[in-house]
Amino acid sequence: MNDLVITILVLFGGSCLGFLFFGGLWLTSKKMLHSKNPVLWYLGSFFVRLSVTLLGFYYMGQNNWKYMVCCLLGFITARFIVIRLTKTKVMKPIN
């Protein structure tokens, strides 16, 4: 397969990993507020998100530093997109 196609697929895969990781972090934060055991939610989510992300980076990196960098760029890009999508509006106090 063409190197450019693989690079684009790795970039897309890194962004999918980023959406999964940071979206999962956002969902965990929302769920922890109403949970009886927030530590279990936090630790369970952390280890699942971390293991999926590391396995994804390992699989997509293929021992090639260019693919690892592209995957990281997609991951970081997804972070900014998730932050923008999940930002809450600031409510002004009523005087």
Q: What is the mean pLDDT of residues 1-8?
A: 87
**How much of the chain, in percent, has pLDDT values that exceed 90?**
66
| pLDDT over threshold 70, residue 95 | no
Q: What is the mean pLDDT of residues 16-38?
A: 91
Q: Average model confidence (pLDDT) for the chain?
A: 90
| pLDDT over threshold 90, residue 75 | yes
H runs (alpha helix) in the chain? 3-32, 38-61, 65-86
| pLDDT over threshold 70, residue 19 | yes
Q: So where are the chain's domains?
A: 3-86
- 4 Cβ partners below 8 Å, 6+ apart? none
| pLDDT over threshold 80, residue 46 | yes
How far is the C-alpha of 53 from the C-alpha of 47, rounded, in Å?
Answer: 10
How far is the C-alpha of 16 from the C-alpha of 54, rounded, in Å?
Answer: 13
